[in-house]
Structure 1
Amino acid sequence: MFYIKTNKFNMKLQLSLLQDMVTRPKYAFTQIASQNLSSWPAFILIILTMQLFYALYFNQVDMPWLVDYTVNTSLGQATPAEKQQLSQRLTEETIRLSASIGSVLMLVFYGLITSVYLNVITKLDEQNTDGFKDWFGFYWWVQIPAVFQLLLSSIVVLVTDSSQTPLMDLQITSINQILGLTPEDKFYSFAASFDLFSLWSIVLLFYGLSVRTQLKTSTITNICIIPFIFMLAFSLVFG
């Protein structure tokens, strides 16, 4: 559940879960369920690593260049006058806030959507009594790979020599490193954001559902694949 139970909080156990998420994810989710562990540590860890990454990035990036890059990629084929108008409104502070705060809000929004989806779809298991709050807490454990992805991206920021690197290019494990799509391509946002750590989250979702429900393996697999298909469709329509 997404609340703190001080009598259940065990720092050593919480830290060991990070290792278990890599080596034995099913055991990790069994521990979370049996110990009724709070998801607050996972949530806080994700947010802190996210803010660390943005702090490092904005400390290094050439902000005037980033403003111009954001304007050009956002407006695409717009006229120079339209781009100039946006450039005047799009300040460096606006970009900082929209990235550091907007990304947190977007992550929470995805968590809400995913929780609603899991709350509905897991009703296929008549014995499962988890509600929306339970799945909202569960979501943050599934997102633990984001911590490792953000730390890796932070290392890339520290070792790169260029001060003119787009955010998306820092995800060196994304499938766009293979596809080489540009911001003008429909699937660019999906390809640039979906990486090995996203696959890891899908694996964690699978094992987590196998622990919390009595659903068949094939059903759980389909539950995990549907959001992936939705993201592809969203990129096709709005990309």
Structure 2
Amino acid sequence: MDEQTTNQDTGLLTVTTNMFTAPAKAFEVIKDKGAGWFPLILIIIGSALVNTLYFQSVDLSWFIEQSAATAASPAEKEAMISSMSSMGATGYMAFGIGGAVIGIPIVYAITAVLYIIISNIRNDDLTFGQCFNLVAWAGVVKLLSILLAIITISISSNGQIAQHDISGFNLNLLIFQVDNTHPWYSILTQFDLVGIWIAILVGIGYRTWTNASITASTIFGFLPIILYFGISAALI
């Protein structure tokens, strides 16, 4: 393979495209090249944009009323409505942007720590940087959710769409359709098909880097989902 072809194969945009179409090939490059900052920045910018667009277009009174519907009593509901109304759309946009800028790297780092613990147990010798890159690059497929969310927000006629539903991939929207007062609502709206896709990609990356078995790689990829939703379900 000549130098020009190598440069083409390792370009960031090419690796991003391959993550959707040929993930094992992408992970072969990522193990050596890293560059986890690139998909991280893409997802942060995309998530911040979605939050900005959402709170610019949502019917804020409806949004607050829906959020306060989970209150345990009329008095608590009134207090929630009063508190949430004081923020205004600008406050919610700032909160959403801050959550993207701060929250996403923290979640990636925590997940990478979990993976480095597993790697150490299995003696795979992966570094924290490699595990972070694994998480960040697998997460780049969330760009599909972001694109769909932007389209959904743009075509919404009355601004009355739940924030969890704008990407269109969560299990509650697709299958269960329980209302937001149901005890399983939070879990069902957070569990989406893109998250499953990301777990599969992590497993592919882990197998590509370590030659682990398909079973071990699958467990490796899905373990954060199993732990998070298992604990959440147990707390209901």
Cα pair distance change 1:164/1:48, threshold 3 Å:
same
Question: Could you tell me which of 123, 127, 130 is aligned with 1:131?
Answer: 127
CA-based RMSD: 2.2
Query: Quick one: distance in 1 between partners of 2:78 and 2:8?
Result: 54
Query: Quick one: distance in 2 between partners of 1:191 and 1:104?
Result: 25
What is the CA deviation profile of residues 69-92 of structure 1, one whole-angstrom value per residue up to 9, with x for unaligned ones? 22223x2x222x322223222222
Query: Quick one: distance in 1 between partners of 2:9 and 2:50?
Result: 24
Unaligned segments of structure 1, at least 5 residues: 1-8
Alignment-derived partner of residue 172 in structure 1: 168
Query: Quick one: distance in 1 between partners of 2:232 and 2:158?
Result: 29
Cα pair distance change 1:208/1:11, threshold 3 Å:
closer
Equivalent positions of 1:4-83 (< 5 A) are 13-34=11-32, 36-73=33-70, 75=71, 77-79=72-74, 81-83=75-77
The range that moved more, 159-168 or 87-96, is 87-96
Q: What SS does structure 1 have at the residue aligned with 2:82?
A: helix
Using CA pairs below 8 Å that are at least 6 residues apart, which structure has the higher relative contact order?
1
Identity of aligned residues (%): 23
Query: Quick one: distance in 2 between partners of 1:16 and 1:199?
Result: 23
**Number of residue-to-residue matches in the alignment:** 226
Residue 106 of structure 2 is aligned to residue 84 of structure 1: no
Alignment-derived partner of residue 4 in structure 1: none
Alignment-derived partner of residue 146 in structure 1: 142
Shift of 1:214: 3.4
Query: Quick one: distance in 1 between partners of 2:121 and 2:186?
Result: 33
Q: What SS does structure 1 have at the residue aligned with 2:222?
A: helix
Structure 1 or 2: more helix by fraction: 2
Query: Quick one: distance in 2 between partners of 1:183 and 1:69?
Result: 8
Confirm or deny: 8 A CA contact 2:170 2:188 kept in the other structure: yes
The range that moved more, 40-49 or 185-194, is 185-194
Query: Quick one: distance in 2 between partners of 1:100 and 1:10?
Result: 34
1:15 maps to amino acid: L
Query: Quick one: distance in 2 between partners of 1:95 and 1:236?
Result: 28
Alignment-derived partner of residue 4 in structure 2: none
Query: Quick one: distance in 1 between partners of 2:200 and 2:235?
Result: 27
Cα pair distance change 1:26/1:112, threshold 3 Å:
same
Query: Quick one: distance in 1 between partners of 2:117 and 2:224?
Result: 14
Alignment-derived partner of residue 204 in structure 1: 201
Confirm or deny: 8 A CA contact 1:175 1:195 kept in the other structure: yes
Confirm or deny: 8 A CA contact 1:206 1:220 kept in the other structure: yes
Unaligned segments of structure 2, at least 5 residues: 1-6
Confirm or deny: 8 A CA contact 1:187 1:235 kept in the other structure: no
Q: What SS does structure 2 have at the residue aligned with 1:122?
A: helix
Q: What SS does structure 1 have at the residue aligned with 2:212?
A: coil
Alignment-derived partner of residue 108 in structure 2: 111
Shift of 1:41: 1.0
